[in-house]
Amino acid sequence: MNIQIVLFDGFGELVALAPFEVLKRANECGASFDVEVVSYEEKTDIISSFGLIVKANDILRVENRPDLLIIPGGGWNHRSDVGARKEAEKGNLPQLIYDLHSKGTIVAGVCTGGMLMASSGILKGKTASMHYLAKEELRGYDVELISNRIVDSGDVITSRGVTAGVDLALWIIERFAGANIAAAVESRMEYERRGVIWKNYP
């Protein structure tokens, strides 16, 4: 399974890199995930919200779309000069999210990465979760908001605040590689999953 985490200037470190590590660890426990961090622009060096420079493995493209795309948040609630809110305002990344989703890519958001999903239109009429500081904005996109830590509607998955990225990644492992592998990763990381997962798909 090909999983890509799309980065943009101002992305939140934990919301992007925690899922990356968790999903990579799944391969140590028997999963078969190809996990990459990618840019959606023609550049490889991406600067996080606290100044960490990350080199992208590739460029996000519809022609070579991932099976699953993870969208981190960052900068939304701070109304930062860079980050998720600015990317939503520019519109290029939301359009790409929409195009990938329409071709069959499952899209998952961590924290306010879900606001980029909402601005792309793929959450319209769906049930989702969100960081508490952005809940009211999410409702403005015709989204049913619930408080579960992870909300999985099949082709879109959302999660709440910053640390929920760990739980999101463990849920992705459980859904696509099995509960035993997810439990093994959880044990290796000395982590205990939090919250109830809301699911709405066959």
Is it the case that residue 9 has pLDDT exceeding 90? yes
Q: Which residues pair with 47 in a beta bridge?
A: 53
Q: 3-class SS at 199? A: strand
Q: Whole-angstrom Cα distance, residue 56 to residue 46?
A: 7
**pLDDT on residue 184:** 98
Is it the case that residue 202 has pLDDT exceeding 80? no
Residue where the block lists tokens 């990644």: 169
Q: Render pLDDT for 34-49 as a digit per residue (tens, 0 to 9).
A: 999 999 999 999 999 9
Q: 3-class SS at 59? A: strand
Q: Is the pTM of this model over 0.85?
A: yes
Assigned fold of 2-123+163-196: Rossmann fold (3.40.50)
Q: Whole-angstrom Cα distance, residue 75 to residue 100?
A: 23
Q: Whole-angstrom Cα distance, residue 86 to residue 12?
A: 13
Q: Whole-angstrom Cα distance, residue 53 to residue 195?
A: 32
Q: Which distant-in-sequence residues (6+ apart) come within 8 Å of 133 by Cβ?
A: 77
> Domain ranges in the chain?
2-123+163-196
